[in-house]
Amino acid sequence: MAELEPHFASLTLAHDGNDALHCNMPSDQLSIVPMTDSAVDRASSDPVLDVIINFVKEEQKRNFAFLGRDTHLYTNGETLAIYRTDPEDVEDSCKRWSLNVKDVDGVWYSFRLVFHKLVHTVPLRCRTAPASPLAQQTEGLPDLLNGIAQLEVMTVEEDMKLWMDLRAWMRKTFEWHDPFEATLLGYQHEEMDFWWRGNGKYFRLLKLPLELREMIYLAAIGHIIIPKAEKIITFGTGYSYGEKGRPGLTRDPNIERPNLNLLLVSRQIKQEVNGAVWMQAYKRFRATTRIELPHHAFRRYKELAPPRALNRLQLEMSAACYFDFICYSMEPGPVVSTPPDGLRVRALHGIPSLRYLDFRFMSPKHPDAVCPWSYENLRIRSTGIGSEIAHSCQETWIDWFFTLAFDQLPKLRVSMSGCIKDSTRAKWEPRFKYLDSKQGKNEIVDNQTAMVHRLVRHLKTELVKHDDKPLPCYCSISCCKGNNFLAALNRGDRRGIVGLEEAIEEQYWSFSD
């Protein structure tokens, strides 16, 4: 451990009013200047600090949000201090995490946000040789100045101790996104300009054709947004369905927070971004309870959104809400077709710009899934208390839903996404393509419509016979709720067994029958 005698390194950023970056260099600390290529005298022999410092400098050039809370122009503060942790602080951290110092095969470092005086004390190790001391692991680490990928940090999430990539941890911990969502444009344009001049990198975006620029805008903001409409309408802040390591992360993925940094570059780019996103991105409306049904929001969004902004909609609802949306009461008891409500599915006909409609389905094993035929589900929705319970077969209830909804949908292009069987997609996609009056011949449209009408008559006969229990599932991997013992394994075990994560996702939802 002699090679890792305490050497302190702090990263500081200051602004003197003349757009000059400078640093103070205390005698007991090694300081560097972020976002510049100035040579820095170093007295450190700690290769770990060299690796981290190099990463921070490069990340600040690449990522506007990294350490943004303290380094943006209007805060004018120092950024980050990184140093070996004192033994007393290590013991305090171990007590807080319920760890034994001897059981941790890493060396402890502290990351201190200077301006906010917030300290993160964590152990680091080199993933190539986790059993050896870090001093031995990092011998000859000059090669790692561009290879921080070898370093891992221990984190504690939900009482689970995990080793994760140091780069991912630093981005998660030290990125900062403006909570005002680009409303203080005067300050933020200055910050962006300051950042561009500091990092020395630029890209002539406006030299590209408009079509390519719009592709870049959509990739940055996202092809699906969950807009928010209050006094003004915004792109929203994304949506997270649950904990980071939850089962079904690939089947029911989160909607990432839109990257709004492009809006700060220039007025022209801001206008182009708004135009591309409102016209080409899908706007998702979610509902898991009746009060959330999206027809309540359509009128408000039409008033606040730009013209033709609602040309692409995506609906994501529980099974119960989907049937409520088409005015069928499927709660336990007699099946009732309620009078058509002009503010439900018929509200789609009142959006003249609507051209594309996507139905997204969450897995029955999703925590928000609600089966209309389950008394237990109704109790959960009213009390918020419940456990893994029965849910109708996804393949069957979606087939029932599309059969009953077919006549009520406007003439447009309908698609399906999410947790839907391949056989269901193959069955309904040919029928939906004829909903668009511009496609197919009238004779074909009439034949498809007549077929669906026959299915509706047959289905209503079946509904009368239904005994108010969840629809049975005969899929090879049950799509109904149940005890998925694989998902109960902790994240560390799941990562360590090859193929286990894929097996858990397949248990969560299988696209095959």
pLDDT digits (tens, 9 = 90+) for 493-503: 666 677 777 88
- Closest-CA residue to 290 (of 259, 256, 318, 258): 318
Distance from the Cα of residue 78 to its chain's centroid:
30
pLDDT digits (tens, 9 = 90+) for 133-157: 444 444 444 444 445 777 888 887 6
> Do residues 50 and 79 touch, judged by C-beta distance below 8 A?
no
pLDDT digits (tens, 9 = 90+) for 280-297: 999 998 888 877 777 777
At residue 222, does pLDDT exceed 70? yes
Q: Say what the pTM is.
A: 0.65
At residue 102, does pLDDT exceed 70? yes
Tell me which H or E stretch contains 49: helix 47-62
Q: What pLDDT does 242 receive? A: 67
pLDDT digits (tens, 9 = 90+) for 411-421: 888 999 999 99
Tell me which H or E stretch contains 328: strand 328-329
Amino acid 405 reads A
**Which is more confidently placed, 357 or 40?**
357
CA angle 485, 487, 492 (to 5 degrees): 120
Distance, CA of 112 to CA of 114 (rounded, Å): 6
Provide the pLDDT confidence category of residue 381 given band limits of 50, 70 and 90.
Answer: very low
pLDDT digits (tens, 9 = 90+) for 24-73: 323 233 233 333 333 233 334 678 888 888 888 888 778 877 877 665 54
> Do residues 121 and 108 touch, judged by C-beta distance below 8 A?
yes
- Closest-CA residue to 50 (of 39, 62, 59, 42): 42
Q: Which two tokens stand for residue 482?
A: 């149940």
Share of the chain above pLDDT 70, in %: 66
pLDDT digits (tens, 9 = 90+) for 241-284: 766 667 788 888 888 888 887 888 888 999 999 999 999 999 99
- Closest-CA residue to 110 (of 130, 134, 89): 89
Q: Of 74-83, 85-94, 174-183, which has the strongest mean pLDDT?
A: 85-94
